[in-house]
Structure 1
Amino acid sequence: MNVNLRAAQAPLLASAAVVGIAASFLHAPASWTLLWVCLLLPLIGFVARWSPVRSGAVAGVLGVAGVALWPVPLVRETGSWLEACGAAAFWLLPALGAALAGGYLRRQAGRVGRAVVDARREQQLELARDLHDFVAHDVSAIVVQAQAARFVAAQDPGQAVRALERIEAAGLSALASMDRTVHALQEAAGGPTAPVPGLAQLPELVGRFEGGKLEADAAAVRELSREADTTAYRVAVEALTNVRRHAPGAAVVQVAVRRVGAGTEISVANSAPTRGASGLRGRKRRGGTGLAGLRGRVEAAGGTLRAGASGDGGWLVSAVFPVAAGPEG
């Protein structure tokens, strides 16, 4: 409804109610007064639904009073005050019904509005998590490789060239992640969708990681549900990102997907960082809360997540997911 029309409803109802009450007590024709009351009833509902609370409450009280009081002068001419009160109580019911109907519609509209706001907030948080899970991984790779290239450029130009190649690959991957985020926004607006990466992209992810080794049981991967598959990929991305940030000198990073009991486990284990990497590690900023947020994702997919130091001084991140109840289409 037009905003100006909404703002005019409360003053219109208040004015109409005062005129109607005055007309009733000035003994206007009953047929005209009754017609006036019938016009007040829908106006009361509109005010309860659309008008601002303060002005709508004042106008609503006047409107209900106008509907309830209109028969009082007529009844008092031939009956007692008790009969007049009974007539007023009778007409009070439709007035209150109109107000309650408008108030109910207003409450339902408020619930819908809050649900939309909550959905948009959740979508924004989802996009923020996507940016953290995917783009931060590639950006951290660019930073580490650029720092490494600075240290080795003078002694071994060939190593510097390979570092630049890895920087290029990470940059392209970051752009692809940004494209997925844009597609997610388009999906929210009703546009085309983009596939969410899963364990099928794990070999490419590990291949871009220096020192990364992958052991994947194809049968175990196929037994994951679609939600668990994409969440497992996020676990790998977050774990590898943390290795780059906090243990850039780790010689070996082992990524494995295997059957464990009645579930499928994805694990990322890195060896202890070498002393020579301390200079790079000292430049890193403090890590975020990505792993803590990832725990909620894993649990939502029915899995469990654990992370901690390993016996060789490295770090281990492991997530176990239940197998899918049936084949995923």
Structure 2
Amino acid sequence: MTAALAAGTTSAQALALGALPIAAALCASAVPLARGRLDRLATPAAICATLSLATAFGYPATGVRTAPAWKLAEAALLLVLLAAVVRWSPWREARIVAPLTAVATAAWPFPLVDGPFLERTGAAAFWLLPAVAAAAAGAYPRRVELRRRAAVTEARRAQRLQLSRDLHDFVAHDISGIVVQAQAARFVAATDPAQAVLALERIEKAGLNALESMDRTVEMLHGPARSPAAALPGLDHLPSLVDEFTAAGGIDAELRLPPETAEALSREAGAAAYRIVVEALTNVRRHAPAATLVRITLTPTPASVELQVSNDAPGTPRVPLPRRRATRGGLGLPALTEHAEALGGTLTAGPHGAGGWRLTATLPRTTAPASAPAPVPAHAQEPQQ
């Protein structure tokens, strides 16, 4: 009778110890699962793993051995929690709870195997394989999600950079022209009202150009209806750009554009050339307002088209400009250098002559230069009658 009672008590204790980790984990998981917070399963996993290790290795002290069926159920629950923790939990929690859960999953057969230590260790090592598989099952979708987020972040960054470059290259050019025209109109308004009216007309045109540039940028942000190169002006807009720059006063500009240049460059390369000229003229207007002449030359070569924009040494400005607040270097030249290199070309800038500045860019041509027909060999010519 006493032996039967002791056996019943031992069975009840074994049942309680076997159900304790599972019950505790399910209770701790109830609230996060009800709220859909799968990122809060690290705590239930840690509780289940800790209790599983305690019941597994507490046999020598308690004398109560948990039934293998309960330990197998614990292992299954631990594998599910391990995959969930690796998939959704914050990394600072997952890097602590995931190894603990994996150890608990692998260690559950250790006290149940009746054999030498090496045999028990082998059984535990075997159960590391399901733990590794569960961790991999949770890590793969997490890595895919992280890569997706990184791609979205990089796309947004590229979009912001494109927006800032467009605003810097085009809007800043038009705004600098507006400032120069406004200053000229202020100085000639009292003595020559007709010139002031012309300056106001040029201010209006520059403002419309700035609005057009902003509309083009917004259109590019709304969707890929057109390619960026197709939306931007190209080589055919260079003459009007140079005329507007010269009409703004203060600095004269000369353009040398051979007719075959437009056929030698692709649409994207032509848009890049236009952007480079805009940036160069803007820099001359902002940083060398005392220059008197800017030369813009495009020279086709057998393999590329060379673009040079140079200004002479500063002289006496026709219209005195106010001193500008010191600012950091703009994004223009570094961004244009990257753009030219992406197209397979180069871009350099530096001092030129006695105090001047020169920008040189090479853009690969898409069409071979026209060449004279090859002479017919003498032995291939028809004999004269």
* Range of TM-score over shorter length: 0.7 to 0.9
Any conservation in 1 of the 2:38–2:89 contact (CA below 8 Å)? Answer: yes
Inter-partner Cα distance in structure 1 for 2:280 and 2:362 = 14
Aligned pair partner of 1:56 in 70, 73, 94: 94
Q: In structure 1, what is the Cα distance between the partners aligned to 2:221 and 2:262?
A: 29
Q: CA deviation at 1:236?
A: 0.9
SS in 2 for 1:182: helix
Q: Structure 2 residue aligned with 1:322, among 361, 364, 367? A: 364
Is the counterpart of residue 294 in structure 1 residue 336 in structure 2?
yes
| Shift in Å, 1:44 | 0.8
Q: SS of the residue aligned with 2:120?
A: helix
Give, in whole Å, the separation in 2 of the partners of 1:267 and 1:38.
72
Aligned residues: 321
Aligned partner of residue 309 in structure 2, secondary structure: strand
Q: 1:222 aligns with which of 245, 263, 268?
A: 263
After superposition, the Cα gap between the structure-2 partners of 1:246 and 1:7, relative to the gap in structure 1 and judged at 3 Å, is closer
Match of 2:375 in 1: none
Letter in 2 for 1:232: A
For the residues of structure 2 that align with 1:197 and 1:11, how far apart are their CA atoms? 60
Change (3 A) 1:29 1:126: same
Alpha-carbon separation, structure 1, partners of 2:358 and 2:70: 84
Whole-angstrom distance in 1 between the partners of 2:128 and 2:136 = 12
User: Which residue in 2 is equivalent to 1:234?
Assistant: 275
Confirm or deny: 8 A CA contact 1:256 1:268 kept in the other structure: yes
Q: List per-residue Cα deviations over 1:266-298 (Å, max 9, x = no partner).
A: 333445555252622x53455744334433322
Match of residue 323, structure 2, among 259, 283, 288? 283
8 Å Cα contact 2:39/2:85 also seen in 1: no
Q: Could you tell me whether the CA contact under 8 Å between 1:308 and 1:315 is conserved in 2?
A: yes
Q: Secondary structure at the match of 1:230?
A: helix
Runs of 5+ in structure 1 lacking a partner? none
Match of residue 267 from structure 1: 308
Aligned equivalent of 1:102: 138
2:47 aligned partner, one-letter code: S
Q: Which has the larger radius of gyration?
A: 2
Aligned pair in 2 of structure 1 residues 123, 291: CA closer, same or farther (>3 Å)? same
- Give 1:84 shift: 2.4
The 2-side partners of 1:215 and 1:66 are apart by: 78
| Structure 1 position 135, deviation (Å) | 0.8
How far residue 60 of structure 1 moved from its aligned partner, in angstroms, is: 2.0
Residue 203 of structure 1: aligned partner: 239
Work out whether residues 312 and 353 of structure 2, in 8 Å CA contact, stay in contact via their aligned partners in 1: no
Q: Which amino acid aligns with 2:263?
A: R
Alpha-carbon displacement from aligned partner over 1:228-279 (angstroms, at most 9, x marks no partner): 2111011110121123224446555443434234322333344555525262
Q: Normalising by structure 1, what TM-score?
A: 0.83
In structure 2, how many angstroms separate the alpha carbons of the residues matched to 1:301 and 1:182?
A: 24
Q: Give the TM-score normalised by structure 2.
A: 0.72
Confirm or deny: 8 A CA contact 1:186 1:193 kept in the other structure. Answer: no
Match of 1:305 in 2: 347
Q: Residue 154 of structure 2 aligns with which residue?
A: 118
| Superposed displacement of residue 4, structure 1 | 5.8
Please, which runs of 5 or more residues in structure 2 have no aligned partner? Answer: 1-31, 369-385
| Cα distance change, pair 252–162 in 1 and its aligned pair in 2 (3 A) | farther
Query: For 2:65 and 2:355, how far apart are their aligned partners in 1?
Result: 96
Q: CA deviation at 1:169?
A: 0.6
Task: Find 2:296's aligned residue among 252, 255, 280.
Answer: 255
8 Å contact from structure 1 (residues 221, 257) kept in 2: no
SS at match of 1:130: helix
- 1:325 is displaced (CA, Å) by 5.6
Measure the CA separation in 2 of the matches of 1:262 and 1:120: 35
Aligned alpha-carbon RMSD (Å): 3.2
Matched ranges for 1:27-176 at <5 A: 27-76=65-114, 79-176=115-212
- After TM superposition, give the deviation of residue 180 of structure 1 in Å: 1.9
1:249, 1:220 → 2: CA distance? 31
Counterpart amino acid of 1:305?
L
Contact 1:247 1:273 in 2 (8 A): yes
Structure 2 counterpart of 1:31, which letter? A
Paired residue type of 1:47: V
Q: Please say if 1:17 is aligned against 2:49.
A: yes
Letter in 1 for 2:359: V
Change (3 A) 1:272 1:46: same
**Larger relative contact order (C-alpha < 8 A, sep ≥ 6)?**
1
Tell me the secondary structure at the aligned position of residue 127 of structure 2: helix
* AA aligned opposite 2:138: G
**1:38-58 CA deviation, whole Å, 9 max, x = no partner?**
232132122122212333233
User: Following the alignment from structure 1 to structure 2, what is the Cα–Cα distance between the partners of residues 85 and 250?
Assistant: 84
